[in-house]
Amino acid sequence: MGRLEGIVGAGGTAVGSSISLADVLIYNAFAECLTEAEAPDKEAWQRAPYNDAKRMEAALAAHPKLKAICDTVAAHEGIKKWLGMRGVQGF
């Protein structure tokens, strides 16, 4: 996370001024938690990034640029729409 923090932009996106695939991948790796409905056969720790949502939240707090990217992606209307309709995840 420290290496990424040093190279991403400070404006809530990794590169440029709009969301890119890089931002979505950062969000997916560090902030996306599956809901119980999306992964009904998984325990809570299996649905969280790196198996511990609270630890990842603490790590993001120590990396404000990455946290800003995750927040930007999570707030995007298209992303919210997709997350709301994607259904059960098979992995």
Closest CA to 35 of 25, 44, 26: 44
The whole model's pTM is what? 0.85
91: pLDDT strictly greater than 70: no
CB 65 within 8 A of CB 10: yes
How would residue 1 be classed by pLDDT, with cut points 50, 70 and 90? very high
CB 38 within 8 A of CB 44: no
Could you read off the pLDDT of 13-61 as tens digits, one per residue? 999 999 999 999 999 999 988 877 888 888 888 888 888 889 999 999 9
* Domain positions in the chain: 2-85
What pLDDT, on a 0 to 100 scale, did the predictor assign at position 89?
83
SS3 42: coil
